[in-house]
């Protein structure tokens, strides 16, 4: 079987990259997987900590920051021929989940695959916890979480990469693959840490909406209907979910209103959550 490539773009992730690689590398067959970490625009010890955690990993360093640029560099340096896994540098996933993720791709039954994401909120404020309780009610997640961690077949990766310079790289790829050709792998589970405070949560949501709007201007529209009516119905019929969904919707409306008044310079910013990395 061809080697599977794991691409990990990392911008100033020294606080968390060791943890991510520790989870990933335990039990990962070195002869079947190549791990490529692309330290882009880093001013910290991301590259050094990567080499210390997984000496066999390939580390690419570039002064230019940018996730799509980093993924393109990593893919260009990869062995190709096998599935390609995209993994954010601040997520926790085991080798067993990684091996499960690529199974539908090696059998030729899917072009892409994703798993189920759990958001850890133990360190988050009450408002952020309520937001994610509401967020989890979104029917979209019955098809898994296509973002943060997903995999493409060799042919699909060759078709879609190099990526254009966009904000929503994960969503660009999701919208470029037919829905029936994306496999949900129940045996693949991974964890992300929620922002610790409302300010950082809003940064993440602003970036997400900006990215989606950019894709719409490119003619890449979301392939599934809005989940909003179903979320509202669920909140009205299940009293325990009413407050979390209300918090979720209130924050999302707030973010959209704020975006309506931002200038052109703000639209080019890459906003990120630093609070979850601080507890990494």
Tell me the domains of the chain and their CATH numbers.
4-278 (3.90.550.10)
**Span 229-247, pLDDT tens digits:** 888 888 888 888 999 999 9
Q: Which residue from 37, 32, 140 is spatially nearest to 90, judged by alpha carbons?
A: 37
Q: Judge residue 51's burial from the number of C-beta atoms within 10 Å of its C-beta, 0-12 exposed, 13-18 middle, 19 or more buried.
A: middle
Lowest mean per-residue pLDDT among 97-101, 135-139, 146-150: 135-139
Q: Identify the CA nearest to 75 among candidates 153, 161, 1.
A: 161
- State yes or no: pLDDT of 267 exceeds 70: no
| End-to-end CA gap in the chain | 35
pLDDT tens, position by position, 102-112 = 999 988 889 99
pLDDT value of residue 279: 54
* Residue count (the chain): 280
The tokens describing 56, both together, are: 């066999």
pTM value is 0.94
What was the pLDDT predicted at 79? 93
pLDDT digits over 184-228, tens only?
999 999 999 999 999 999 999 999 999 999 999 999 998 887 788
């Amino acid at each position: 079987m061809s080697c599977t490539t794991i691409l990990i773009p990392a911008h100033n992730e020294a606080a968390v990259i060791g943890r991510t690689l520790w989870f990933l590398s335990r039990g990962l067959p070195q002869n079947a997987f190549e791990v490529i970490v692309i330290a882009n625009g880093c001013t910290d010890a991301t590259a050094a900590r990567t080499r210390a955690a997984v000496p066999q990993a390939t580390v690419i360093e570039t002064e230019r920051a940018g996730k799509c640029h980093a993924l393109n560099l990593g893919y260009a340096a990869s062995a190709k021929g096998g599935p390609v896994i995209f993994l954010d540098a601040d997520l926790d996933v085991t080798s067993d989940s990684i091996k499960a993720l690529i199974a539908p791709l090696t059998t030729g039954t899917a072009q892409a695959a994703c798993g189920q994401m759990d958001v850890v909120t133990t360190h988050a404020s009450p408002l952020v916890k309520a937001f994610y309780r509401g967020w989890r009610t979104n029917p979209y997640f019955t098809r898994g979480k296509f973002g943060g961690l997903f995999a493409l077949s060799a042919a699909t990766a060759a078709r879609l990469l190099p990526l254009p310079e966009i904000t929503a790289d994960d969503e660009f790829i999701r919208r470029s693959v037919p829905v029936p050709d994306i496999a949900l792998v129940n045996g693949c589970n991974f964890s992300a840490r929620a922002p610790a405070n409302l300010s950082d949560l809003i940064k993440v949501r602003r970036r997400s909406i900006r990215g989606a709007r950019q894709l719409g201007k490119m003619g890449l529209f979301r392939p599934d209907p809005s989940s909003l009516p179903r979320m509202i119905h669920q909140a009205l019929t299940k009293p325990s979910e009413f407050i979390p969904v209300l918090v979720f919707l209130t924050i999302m409306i707030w973010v959209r209103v704020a975006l309506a008044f931002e200038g052109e310079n703000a639209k080019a910013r890459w906003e990120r959550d630093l609070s979850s990395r601080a507890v990494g």
